[in-house]
Each structure stands twice: as structure tokens, then as C-alpha cells.
Amino acid sequence: MSLAAGPSGPYPGPRGPSARPRTWPPPGRLPRLLSGTGVPLSLNEHLARYGPLPRHRSPGAGAAELIAEVSAAGLTGRGGAAFPAGTKLATVAAAAARPGRGRGGSAPVVVANAMEGEPGSGKDALLLARSPHLVLDGIALAALATGAGQAWLCVPAGQPALAAAARAAIAERDRAGPDQVLVRVTPVPGGYLASQETALVSWLSGGPQKPSFVPPRPAEAGVRGRPTLVQNAETLAHLALIARYGAAWFRSVGVPPEAGSALVTVSGAVPHPGVLETPLGTPLGTVLAQAGLAPVAGAAGRPGPPGQARHPGAVLAGGYLGGWLGWPDAAAVPVSAAGLRRAGAALGPGTLAVLPAVACGLAQTARILAYLSSHRAGQCGPCTHGLPALAEAFGQIAFARPHPRTIETVGQLTRLLPGRGACHLPDGGAGLAASALRVFAADLRWHAGHGPCPAAAASAQEAAR
């Protein structure tokens, strides 16, 4: 399919069903975002696979229609907070329309967040590498909906290949007919909190890379005081498809009210780790089966002698700020924000890390808590003091013989930290620790009686090397 350049962007094709190429994914089937073959889709291939973006009679009418469609689709943010995307778009658009806005003027901006601060997550990097035009379409649509003229596509500074892929894709679009929105690919220094919404906005405004207190939310006043739409790269990719195929198509998979599909990153003790696309609400066992994990009936998560089959002991869902799920009970838990929250974990950025039964969940939790503690911003007292205390106490539980008072301290801290910081780092750390005490209760009793289990001792030795 050849392209003719036009002033409205690289999508000059006529509207109507007769213009649709054969290779569009039929409604209701996956893959949606991951349609590629492993090499980056060029603009032509992208258009051949997904079709052109719909054209609108005028930018203003297009904006309202798009926001309505996204709201009807029920798209929620895929960066971890799961905030309704339509509401966010509407808030930014309304803030921009209000007269006499803040010091930065009222022109809104879009921030595409591909920072992916969660160590176990690789979905945003995959999207940018494989289907950058989906993300760029999403940015263009978000700019249309909010009236933004510029956008920042934020990528980790430590992965120059991503920036290169994004810039190449933008260059392709510029040659075919530039987007209405100016997209700046911006490498941002990494760190766990680098992808946090207000920390990213603060950095883009020339300030420190630390979360700020809300209100005002970035949607009201963000980069240099302007209304700012901060959206995860995957969310923008979904936006690109909703604009083409509509809300009903989006909702044809998923379990209401959580509609559509999501990218999950499966890692750990699975035969085929990687990024998968799954309808929301799919049972965890089914998702992990796609990564090659066969359900093991009756297996319990116990540390055993080395050499035993690496079947799962537990699954960490939602990343370092998520929670543990015991295996095989977890197999039935639906992979959705509500389902995972009910089970004591979280969806977060869609990471599912499988812990083998031979490993010690307490040791792993202690290491994660130490990592979180070292990445705290140091702005809020309860987190600055409480998270290291939690990490230290949990270290005692995992690598020493915990005193009952230590275990009690951990319990107290898990109740003391949530809701008392500017971001969700302390909440997440506390939630992770609480879920570990619950899921690994048997291991905890063993540690209390005998000191660190062989698996914990072995992992401590390995970390020391």
C-alpha cells in the first residue's frame, strides 16, 4: 500500500469499509498490540496491518468524539495506576480550555511514559521496538483530544536503542507527512521512581526527579504549570486501536468492568519468559500456560533440596509494589486490577514473576525491600524512616533467626506506612511485605525455629559474591 503525503498526516486514505486492507485483525481476537513478527513495523507495514487513522471533519469535533469513545471503551492506564484514560483526557482538555490558566499558559502537553521503571517489566520497550507507530499514533490522538501541540516521549536513558527506534519512526512519519504534534524523544535518567507520574513531570520541568504532592494533578498543572497528559506507552497504543475500531471492539474481550487486553511480562521460573498479550480477567494459570508453564496439581511451595524440579512456589504479581500469590491457588486468580487486588496482589505494570519452589520467598522479599528502600526519594518522613526499617527487619527474618519482636515490628510497619507518602512507594513496599508474611507463613515459622533456610542462605551467599 503506497502513501500519498498530505497536510493532515500520513493517513490520507478515503474513509469507509471499502478502503480497509485485508490484514486488519478481526474484532475480538488477539493479538492486538503484538501483531508484529519481531522486527520493527515500518509505517507502511503498520498501516497495512492496522489501517489508517480515522479522519475528522474538524479537530474540535474529533477531540470530543475521541474522548467519548475512549471513555465508552473503559480504557484504563496500563502504567500501574489503572486510572480511566477517558477521564484523564477530559480533565486535561477542560483545564486547557479554562481561561486565565497558570504561569505556564494554558497550552496542554502530552507526556508518553515509556520509562518502565519496574525492573521486571519489558512491555513498553517491546512496543517501542516492535510497533512504535502504535505509540506514536496514540500520542497524535492524545494531542488531538487535548489540544496539545507538543509531546515528550520519555525513554530510559540507559537504553539508547529505544530512543533510536522512536526517532527513526518519527522520521518516517515526517517524510510521509508530519503529525500535527511535535514529538520530542527524551532520554530520562533511570531509577525506580523515574516513571512515577509527578516525578517525571518534575524532571521535565527542570526540577528534581522526585514525586510531588497532589493536588494539583499533572492533568491540571504539570510540566511548567501546563495541563499535562501523562500516559503510559501501552495505553497510548490501545488508544490508537480504539480510535480505529471503536469502543465496542475494545470491549469485546476482557471481563467487565475491566475491558480490553493488556500486556504482561512473564519472568522467572517459566520455560518461555517474555511479553504476552492477554484479555483482562484471564485466569493467571492460563496466562502462565502461554509462557510454557504446565499447571502442577497439588504442588506446594516448600524449599526443598537442590535439584528438585523448578516448579513454581509463588508468583509476584504487580512488580515490587505488588504482592505475592501462593501457587497453585493463584492459578485461578483473574489477571485484572480488581481480581489481583482481591487476592492481595496488584496488576501494576503487568509483571508476573514466577518464583521457583526451591527459592526462598522471604529472601526474595527482603532483597526487593532493600532495593525499594535504596530508591526512595527521601522527601517524606514516614517513608524515609520507615522503609529502611522495614527492609532491615525483613532482612532479619530472611537471613537471620528472627525474634518474635522483629516479626511484630514488620507487622506494625506494614500498617504504619500506607497512605503517608507523596507517592505509592511506601504503600507498595508495605503491601509486598504483608503479602509475603501471609503467603510464606509456613516458611516464616521455619525461619523462626531454625534460622535461614538453605535456599535463603544460598541466595545470601550468592549476593555476597
Under the binding rule (CB under 8 A), the answer on residue 10 touching other proteins is: no
C-alpha distances in angstroms, 419 versus 92, 134, 392, 422? 26, 35, 21, 8
The beta strand positions in 269-401, using DSSP E, are 274-279, 312-317, 323-326, 351-356
Under the binding rule (CB under 8 A), the answer on residue 200 touching other proteins is: no
φ, ψ of residue 416 to 5 degrees: the values are -90, -25
Under the binding rule (CB under 8 A), the answer on residue 422 touching other proteins is: yes
Exposure string of 334-359, with b = 16+ CB inside 10 Å and e = fewer, is bbbbebbbebbbbbbbbbbbbbbbbb
Q: Which amino acid is at 165?
A: A
Contacts of 161 (CB under 8 A, 6+ apart): 129
Shortest distance (Å) from residue 426 CB to other proteins: 9
Under the binding rule (CB under 8 A), the answer on residue 6 touching other proteins is: no
Shortest distance (Å) from residue 104 CB to other proteins: 17
Q: Cis omega (within 30 of 0) on the bond before 17?
A: no
Shortest distance (Å) from residue 434 CB to other proteins: 17
Instruction: Provide the β-strand partners of residue 155.
Output: 187
Output 71 or 379, the one with its CB closest to other proteins: 379
Q: Cis omega (within 30 of 0) on the bond before 215?
A: yes
Under the binding rule (CB under 8 A), the answer on residue 67 touching other proteins is: no
Under the binding rule (CB under 8 A), the answer on residue 8 touching other proteins is: no
Under the binding rule (CB under 8 A), the answer on residue 209 touching other proteins is: no
Stretch that binds other proteins, among 171-179, 271-279, 310-318, 419-427 (CB under 8 A): 419-427
Under the binding rule (CB under 8 A), the answer on residue 282 touching other proteins is: no
Under the binding rule (CB under 8 A), the answer on residue 213 touching other proteins is: yes
Total number of residues that touch other proteins (CB under 8 A): 13
Query: Which one of residues 421, 428, 429, 452 is an interface residue with other proteins (CB under 8 A)?
Result: 421
CA atoms within 13 A on the CB side of 241: 30
Shortest distance (Å) from residue 282 CB to other proteins: 31
Q: Are 407 and 446 in contact (CB under 8 A)?
A: no
Output 65 or 427, the one with its CB closest to other proteins: 427
Under the binding rule (CB under 8 A), the answer on residue 428 touching other proteins is: no
Site residues (CB under 8 A) for other proteins, limited to 286-305: none
Shortest distance (Å) from residue 416 CB to other proteins: 6
Query: Which one of residues 42, 182, 385, 458 is an interface residue with other proteins (CB under 8 A)?
Result: 385
Under the binding rule (CB under 8 A), the answer on residue 373 touching other proteins is: no
Give me the count of residues in the chain. 465
Pairing verdict, β 351-356 and 312-317 = antiparallel
Q: Are 364 and 355 in contact (CB under 8 A)?
A: yes
Under the binding rule (CB under 8 A), the answer on residue 380 touching other proteins is: yes
Stretch that binds other proteins, among 165-173, 240-248, 268-276, 415-423 (CB under 8 A): 415-423
C-alpha cell of 61?
A: 469535533
Stretch that binds other proteins, among 23-31, 134-142, 286-294, 378-386 (CB under 8 A): 378-386
Positions in the binding site for other proteins (CB under 8 A): 212-213, 379-383, 385-386, 416, 420-422
